[in-house]
Chain A
Amino acid sequence: MDFELTEEQRMFRDMARKFAEQEILPTLKENERQEKFDSSIIKKMASQGLLAPHMPQEYGGLGLDYVTSAIIWEALCWASLAVTQAAMSGPIQPATNLLDAGSEQQKQKYLPPVCRGDLILSGAVVEPNAGSDSSMIETTAVRSGNHWVINGTKVFITNGEIADVVLFIAQTDKSKGLKGLASFIVERGTPGFSSKPQKGRISWRGGSEGSLRFIDIELPLENQVGETGRALRDALRGIDTARLFLAAGALGIAQSCLDASIKYAKERVQFGKPIGGHQLIQEIIAEMATKIEAARWLIYRAADLKSRGIRHIKEMSYAKYFATETALWITSQAVKIHGSFGTFDDYPVGHHYQDAITATILGGTTQMHQLTIGQQLLEMAAFR
């Protein structure tokens, strides 16, 4: 068992961290204040080779293992999880889904431009009444001759407003429940497709979310991805990848908050000495650092199993649940260490604090992951 990063992993970590410092941090504060995602970061990441680290080289990715890819995510999210997730969500969730379930023609058409940053791909599962429970999906796909007719609404879709292509799930036969679900591709400009931004968030303000409306969209049969009845299973592979990277991203923001808190605790003098010299601050710092190390190894363990193609449902839930909840706790402690300064966006801890809550929701809520772990250990489900 080797706990050291490889030379390649260290080089990727250092490069991604410098990229984050040079390309994400300088505009982050202003963009967050305007609740704006600057999509030019997608092309910058692509030209640096950071946009699709885990995707196979034949489709334009770097073909890296999941541990190295998670290390890259951690380093990028040290600056901002929301920006990183918005930039890389296409190559992560929907592209992984397409890679697993799409036809070769679909893969050749969409994956290389997505990995080059020439095409923005969004994945759309969630609806106003269907979050964790996909059996509630109300978007319909009705077969009519040689095409499908699509109607419905999708919400909280990363890059929904700016996506060129959307991979979404719709219900083909309500009576079949989850077995009636199927995946489809729709391109912007298709009659009946519209989108709008979802603004007013208190979290993820540097990211990008929108809602989609499908009204009598006619899609050719070849726009279906995979088989009817397997859509949720196919999507979960992409979601599994997203979970890993959200966990790694949460680790990045937690590490950033620890770094900032140590620096501040050495500089800020109260009661005649740096606040880091007070025992209660040391206790918080110690707990932060310990939880970060624990989260890091849970993530690397899940990533390693995933890279080796070994079943990792429980381990991924451990990582996602623990890392994101840890980030939520650490970011709040970091704000407290910074006192009132921490509540302003001049310090990194403030925007990480805002983003941490969303990390516990995306890619499966903490409660869903706890139920998954429980189901795996007890061999009985607490939900359908």
Chain B
Amino acid sequence: MDIIVCVKKIPDPEIPPAKFKLDMESKRVIPPEGIPPVINPYDEQAVELALRLKDKYGGKITVLTIDNDADTSIVKHALAMGADEGIVLADKAFEGSDSFSTSHILSQAIQKVGNFDLVLCGRQAADWDEGLVGAIIAENLSLPLVTLAEAVDVVDGKLKVKRVTLDGYQIFAVPTPAVATVSNEVGQPRLPSGWGIISASRKQIPIWKAGDLDADPSQIGAKAVRRRLVKLFIPVREKKCEIIEGETTAEASVKLAERLRKAGVI
């Protein structure tokens, strides 16, 4: 089974709050000094799901990312985990893209890669949490889409996709090729192996520019943005400590429950 996985580089979600800073004027996140960006953890889980399918059915995994600095680090991370090929899409024309233009760029790249049975994306990127790219790629390529996939298998020539819901799961039979966004229920992604790191770090990663993709210039970059960011800010959270008294633990528990209900927490 040949799989394409779309991955994104984001600021490390584990950075301490004190290091997270915004430029309110330009409405951008200021990259934290000394803390390198990482592969979006949800995308890393999409790579993991692709590797499980490769372990079972064989095939080839190609990893795509858009990075205007032509940074290959997260593609190499996925290769070190076990993916076969990686491509970085880098062009000044891509700068300022939103989910729609990003999806257009990725859709064009997916078509250029060609033969594939499945496209996987993380359920959302852990920086902006929009969760749109996978769905728009499916729309662009007129492919069936299953969101929040926890597991994928192959039954009778079709994909059997287990989709996570709030109170359980759904099973879909999906013809190939298809697109799925991957839920975090997939679990912990494998670590890159020593042999994978050696191979990945010495691999030449192709860089594709806008001209390589047959992309529609009106659909990419800042000029194609369809949503307007009005304000970007860090919410101020106030902490208050209130001691709930009670003669007995049971009495204090009841009072605590009443207080929490009054506060709208439960």
Contacts and interface: CB of A to CB of B under 8 A. Distances in A.
Interface stretch (B51-59, B95-103, B193-201, B240-248): B193-201
A50 B191 CA distance: 12
Contacts of B80: 11, 15
Contacts of A12: 194, 197
Interface residues of A, number: 16
A8 B201 CA distance: 5
A190 interface: no
Contacts of B200: 11
Contacts of B196: 49
A62 interface: yes
* Interface hub of A11, A47, A49 (most chain B Cβ within 10 A): A11
B191 A18 contact: yes
B192 interface: yes
Interface in A184-213: none
A15 B192 contact: yes
Contacts of B188: 22
- By secondary structure, the B interface counts as helix
B201 A48 contact: no
A8 B198 contact: yes
A347 to B, nearest CB: 18
Q: Place the interface of chain B in its size category.
A: 10 to 19
B195 A49 contact: yes
Interface in A63-81: 64
Interface in B170-215: 188, 191-198, 200-202
B194 A53 contact: yes
Contacts of A53: 194
B67 to A, nearest CB: 15
A48 B194 contact: yes
A62 B198 contact: yes
A49 B193 contact: yes
A53 B194 CA distance: 8
A49 B201 contact: no
A7 B194 contact: no
Contact of B197 (A15, A22, A47): A15
Interface in B210-243: none
A48 B197 contact: no
A31 to B, nearest CB: 21
A108 to B, nearest CB: 21
B191 A62 contact: no
B191 A15 contact: yes
A64 B76 CA distance: 18
B123 interface: no
B9 interface: no
A11 B77 contact: yes
A15 B200 CA distance: 13
Contacts of B77: 11
A7 B73 contact: yes
14 contacts: A6-B201, A8-B197, A8-B202, A11-B76, A11-B80, A12-B194, A15-B80, A15-B191, A48-B194, A49-B193, A49-B196, A50-B194, A53-B194, A62-B195
Interface of A: 6-8, 11-12, 15, 18-19, 22, 47-50, 53, 62, 64
Given A49-B196, A50-B194, 12 more contacts: A8-B201, A12-B197, A15-B192, A15-B194, A18-B191, A19-B191, A22-B188, A22-B191, A49-B194, A62-B194, A62-B195, A64-B198
Interface of B: 73, 76-77, 80, 188, 191-198, 200-202
4 cross-chain pairs, A with B, having the tightest CB-CB distances, nearest first: A49-B194, A8-B201, A11-B197, A49-B193
